[in-house]
Amino acid sequence: GHVLFFALRDKEPGEEITVDYIATLHPDTKRCTCGAENCRGTINKRQK
């Protein structure tokens, strides 16, 4: 299979693209350790 990503705006060379894994169908739930203030704390599971 393939995964395609489309940018909503033009990207600069070398600019990172991030992915919100809540949009994927992967069955595992993992704790996120990114440290971002707005992080929900998990990957693939919405907070209740």
The 3-state secondary structure of 1-48 reads CCCCCCCCCCCCCCCCCCCCHHHCCCCCCEECCCCCCCCCCEECCCCC
Per-residue pLDDT at 12:
96
Q: At residue 4, does pLDDT exceed 60?
A: yes
Tens of pLDDT, residues 8-21: 999 999 998 887 77
Q: What is the pTM of this model?
A: 0.42
Containing domain of residue 23, as a range? Answer: 1-48
How many structural domains is the chain composed of? Answer: 1
Question: Which residue in the block uniquely carries the two structure tokens 């991030």?
Answer: 18
